[in-house]
Structure 1
Amino acid sequence: MTRHATFPQHRKVIIYARYSSDMQSPTSVKDQIDQCQREAISNGWTVVDVRSDEGITGTRDDRPGYQALMNDLEQRRCDLVLFESVDRLSRDQEHSARFYKIATHNEVELYALDSGYVDAIKLGFSSTMAAAFLEALAFKTRRGLSGRITAGKSAGGISYGYRPGAEKGDLVIHEDEAIIIRRIFKEYAEGKSPLKIATGLNQDLIPSPAVGTKRKTSGHWKQNTINGNRERGTGILNNELYVGRRIWNRLRYSKDPKTGRRVSRLNPSEKLTLTELPELRLVDQALWDAAKARQEAMSKERKTVAADGGTLAVTRQNKRRKYLLSGLVRCGLCGGPMTVAGGNATAGKRRYYCANAREKGVSICAGMKGILQTDVEHITLTELRDGLMQDAAFAKFKVDFERHTHAQGKSVGEELKHRDKMIAEQERKRDNLLKAVADGDYSSAVIKFLNDVEVELTQMTAQRVAATPAPVDLPDNLPELYREYVDDLVGMLSQEDVVGRAGLELRELISAVNVHPAKAGGHTITLEGKFLEMLDKTKPAGRAGYVGLTKFVSVGCGSRI
């Protein structure tokens, strides 16, 4: 229908249509184009091109169709742009004003089906109304979500481990996925990296959380899915709903005026809404705390690595760590790190030297004679060993050992049940495919799929057998075994396959091993950290508490560096 009869005939027109990522149907673009074409025909205008954007918000100006239209204006390919309404062209005041300036400069007029010819005043008014609409919509949406959270409902999105309940916004535990969640927490607390956990899940053919969603995905687990971001509460290891606690409003969002993309920022703690939902707990508190303790230890390690000028990730740093006390030994003269050099692992003649004196010279640190690596470790771990030899320490170890064994058996039982269920589902899939083949309803694609299913079923069955543990009984000679391990603490913790993790655990007890030169020609070693608190707890009755722990070590031979 013609809005302005004053328009001249034979105009060259480019049509623009758009639907955003809200509840609009993709067919709305076709509907908009059809209406614009009818309008052009009724006015005798010639449509020279059509530009459109689908599923992109009007607050962004990096839309492909919109950018192509801007280029059309610059090339003067038309003298009229035709669209349904101004908010289809843009919902951003700044973008609308710029588009109007470029169109006017190139002598191109704008025409909207709902309001006719668009001038500066009409464009400004429409753009302001569109901006006000978006702000009001955002406010009402957040108000509605806040009400749902207060009522104990979900504000949208379903975390892995849950499925929708009977009523809208309710969640119930997805038992099969809950087993995987507990497996992830258990393996992480035991020292596995997120990458190794993801690798294991992929090897076991466990579908990732993205499977079955609208996201384009390979269906594989990734380490970031597990690790996420502690501060932002993303990733499986940081989802507090797994301990029955929902935290809402952790982030706030705004549009970057340069890119038009949404940017998230952390809200202050007083803005958070916390709801206790014990019925949704998947992970017991002890396991959650163990995972959080490891995360905290890894975080401290990253800071230590960064402070020492390291650039490796913590997991790579741990793999690279050859010595139990790497990174902990400090020079008592300058406070800088001491590093191992000289000798060889077989002869045991490696020594700690001040890195500053060795690499920066005497103007930074005068240095001291090297101290045997084995002496430093022996002095440090002897005191730890003495504490662990106390009867109370063994009693605690026995209780912890029995609890760990019981928990491990329960966890393995859950995992085996889950594997049995996956195998049963795969067998049903295979049987249905075999029936289709027997009935003659098949194609080459069906045969290929059947073969793939058979391969996966064989793999699942083999993994089920491998995952079945041998029965574990509490050894009769547990006290002797315990004392043997503690007595050989240095040797046990220095083994290549445990030194990285052992070193990480020691950093929870020891913050520094300070080495000072002694007048007698040797060294004094002073320990710092929670280690001293533990020694206080295990010291014999009547003995004075530790203010610091200092030991003298003779230097033997070794050059001053």
Structure 2
Amino acid sequence: MTSQPRVILYARFSTELQNAHSVRDQLDKCRAHALRQGWAVVAEFADEAMSGTRDDRPGFKDLRNAIGQGRCDIVLAESLDRFSRDQEHISRFYKEAKHNDVVLHTVDRGKVDVMQIGFSSTFSAMFLEDLREKTRRGLEGKVKDGLNAGGRAYGYRPAIDERGNPITGRLVIDENEAIIIRRIFREYAAGDSPLKIAARLNAEGIPSPRGNGAGTGGWKQNTINGNRERGTGILNNELYVGWRVWNRLRYLKTPDGNSRVSRLNPASEWQRIEVPELRILDDEQWSLAKARQDRLAKAKSKINSTDDNHLSVNRNLRRRKYLLSGLVKCGVCGGSMTVAGGTTKGSKRRYYCATNKEKGPAFCSGMPGILQSEVDGFALAGLRDGLMQPAAYAHFREEYARHLEATQSATTEDLKLRDARIREHEKTKANLMKAVETGTFSAPVLERLNQVDEELKRMKTERIEAEPKPVDLPENLPDIYREHIANLVETLTHESVAGDVGDELREMIDRVIVRHDALNGHTIELEGKIVELLQAGSSKAKGPTKGGAFAVSRSSLELVAGAGFEPAAFRL
């Protein structure tokens, strides 16, 4: 007596938008077909909401393993495209089945042969190509109508109709998230790195942008920084200034069909649609962030990478510890000079030739170290003289007032965010209280109620402490300004600001060259645009003190170490 052929059933549907009962219905058809044919069903495999272009589907992989283990004689699906929609994958699957003496069957076509594989896979590929083009045209039409055609960007939520249902393609600003966006731009423009901003947001428990509906992964520097050319990341999303950019990127499946990669389209193919109702930032906030990105990009372009993955470039772009880091060069070998030594407060730190210290006199004869304060003082002397002018103070006073105003504005936004969180906790508390009142009296509910109550008390206390205090311009502002400018070297070389000041100085200074001889000691030569400032400053001053002398040219200025400038008269 001949035994029944063993059959394994397989079902699949593509997206979460399709009927979740699709797999059940497909398997029902396959079972009925197997029963009519007198086959014994030994296993069933299925993949839900997974594209037929992927070959890493869990159910499909289990099916292939079962075939390789000799567990069946027949594999049955509703139709051939349930196995795969990829020409290469379906051909390989057919070969694997044939190699293991397994026959493929479908409910609608019966036994599958080579001819069906060829025709079906070709039509499946054509179907996918046509579907992609129709989908793209549909999305393009939505964009032209002012609708959202992609994922929901951080800072927005779906618009709701009068019945409380989301309106497809319509977005409105989420004010709580908009506060965070403005904060990110403000802190970035002020000099904070994306890494530092992300760490601060995570420490404060600020929810990160949603990823696949989760939003629990936390903030990362790339979430903020993204890729400027591709328009990704918080700092590069033009929607925040009222412009929707569509078709900047195209997405392609990898040859195995298991993932996809993005490619940048030519700028001529991008579509820009103005959506002023979605603007979160003003032009100044956006421009300040872009200006800093420009400075960093310019600095990066000047740095030669010494390794394949460009980590040396990234190291050079990290915030500098010292004002002139990377600019001070040895007059003997041309290599960099680095800071070493000194007291715990750094008052005796000196610049030394790094080549001499690390490789020895065979590579560079070196020179005695020069005080960091002397090098910094020379570079800043012209700036100090120029800043001791009434016009400079007037500009400082104006900027100081704007800073106070911005601080107050930031505090107001912070209070709005705190108020929103308090309202959410009060709503949670009300729901828990209602549950207790209606009889849901359990230990976990009471524990959660007490927890929420404690959190509310803490949040309200912190809210009161965060209230802004009235701040006016100090009466002694001129004295404060005069003191800071008189001590400019100490002011600008402090580690908290040296990195940002150094970034600005790099726009004016090309190199600071240090030389030494037994007769004159150290001499410092400055190259770059700042020379014009130093020349202007020295012409107004009485002359170098301590017997220092200048050697001035159109492109550089040289000073014997120890010489200084007499600051110009300053009256307010």
Q: 1:55 aligns with which of 29, 49, 55?
A: 49
- 1:89 is the counterpart of 2:87: no
Q: Does 1:493 align with 2:492?
A: yes
Q: Given residue 115 of structure 2, which amino acid in structure 1 is its aligned partner?
A: I
Q: 1:436 to 1:24 in 2, by over 3 A?
A: closer
What is the match of residue 387 of structure 2? Answer: 388
**1:331 aligned onto 2:330:** yes
1:230 aligns to what? 228
The equivalent of 1:186 in structure 2 is: 186
Structure 2 residue aligned with 1:283: 281
How far does residue 456 in structure 1 lie from its aligned partner after superposition?
2.4
Question: Residue 77 of structure 1 aligns to which amino acid in structure 2?
Answer: R
1:36-435 to 2 correspondences below 5 Å = 36-165=30-159, 168-210=168-210, 215-218=213-216, 220-258=218-256, 260-299=258-297, 307=305, 311=311, 318=318, 321-345=320-344, 348-362=347-361, 364-435=363-434
Secondary structure of 1:471's counterpart equals: coil
Distance 2:473 2:535 in 1: 31
3-state DSSP of counterpart to 2:262: strand
1:296–1:341 Cα change, 3 Å: same
- Range with greater deviation from structure 2 (377-386 or 155-164): 155-164
* Matched AA of 1:512: R
Q: Which residue matches 1:548?
A: 555
- Residues 231 and 466 of structure 1: CA distance in aligned 2, closer, same or farther (over 3 Å): farther
- Given that 1:91 and 1:131 are in contact with CA atoms closer than 8 Å, whether structure 2 keeps it comes out as yes
Equivalent residue for 1:10, pick from 4, 7, 12:
4
Q: How far does residue 143 in structure 1 lie from its aligned partner after superposition?
A: 1.7
Which amino acid in structure 1 is aligned with residue 191 of structure 2?
G
How many angstroms apart in 2 are the aligned matches of 1:537 and 1:219? 55
How far 1:300 sits from its partner (Å)?
Answer: 5.3
The farther-off stretch of 110-119 and 275-284 is 275-284
**Conserved in 1, the CA contact under 8 Å of 2:332 and 2:366?**
yes
C-alpha distance after superposition, 1:359-397 (max 9, x if no partner):
234554443443221111110111222222233222222
Q: Cα offset for 1:243?
A: 1.2
**1:554–1:192 distance in 2 versus 1, CA, 3 Å:** closer
Helix, strand or coil at the partner of 2:169? coil
Counterpart of 2:560, as a letter, is V
Q: Label 1:238 to 1:462 Cα distance change in 2 as closer, same or farther (>3 A).
A: farther
In 1, Cα distance between equivalents of 2:404 and 2:34: 78
For the 8 Å contact 2:531–2:557, the answer to whether it is kept is: no
Cα distance in 2 for residues equivalent to 1:56 and 1:496: 54
Given residue 140 of structure 1, which amino acid in structure 2 is its aligned partner? Answer: K
CA contact (8 A) 1:36 1:113 kept: yes
Q: Counterparts of 1:343 and 1:203 in 2: how far apart (Å)?
A: 35
Where in structure 2 are the equivalents of 1:461-500 lying within 5 Å? Answer: 461-500=460-499
TM-score, normalised on structure 2?
0.85
Give how far 1:109 is off.
0.9
Contact (CA 8 Å) 2:525, 2:559: kept in 1 or not?
Answer: no
Give the conservation status (yes or no) of the 8 Å contact 1:16–1:83.
Answer: yes
Q: Is the 8 A contact 2:351 2:372 kept in 1?
A: yes
Q: Deviations over 1:22-68 (max 9, x none)?
A: 63223211211111111111111011111222222111111222122
* Identity value in percent: 52
SS in 1 for 2:108: coil
2:71 match: secondary structure:
coil
Conserved? CA contact 1:305–1:311, under 8 Å: no
- Show the counterpart of 1:4: none
Secondary structure, aligned partner of 1:160: coil
Give the structure 1 partner of residue 543 of structure 2: none
Name the CA distance, whole Å, in 2 between partners of 1:144 and 1:537. Answer: 63
- What does the per-residue CA deviation read over 1:444-482, in whole Å, with 9 as the maximum and x for residues that have no partner? 232122123123213322331332232210122222211
Map Cα deviations across residues 167-223 of structure 1 (whole Å, 9 max, x no partner).
64233322232222212221222233334434444454443332xx75234374444
Deviation at 1:111, TM superposition (A): 0.5
How far off its partner does 1:287 sit? 1.7
What is aligned with 1:458?
Answer: 457
- SS of residue matched to 1:442: coil
Computed over aligned residues only, the root mean square deviation of the Cα atoms, in angstroms, reads 3.2
Instruction: Indicate conservation of the 8 Å contact 2:241/2:280, yes or no.
Output: yes
| Corresponding residue number in structure 2 for 1:3 | none
Q: Which residue of 2 aligns with 1:559?
A: none
Distance change (3 Å), C-alpha of 1:168 and 1:27: closer
Aligned with 1:29 (options 19, 23, 26): 23
The count of corresponding residues between Structure 1 and Structure 2 is 543
Mapped contact 2:509–2:529 kept (Cα < 8 A): yes
Structure 2: gaps (5+ residues)? 162-166, 541-551, 564-572
**Per the alignment, do residues 300 and 330 of structure 1 end up closer, same or farther by CA in structure 2, a change over 3 Å counting?**
farther
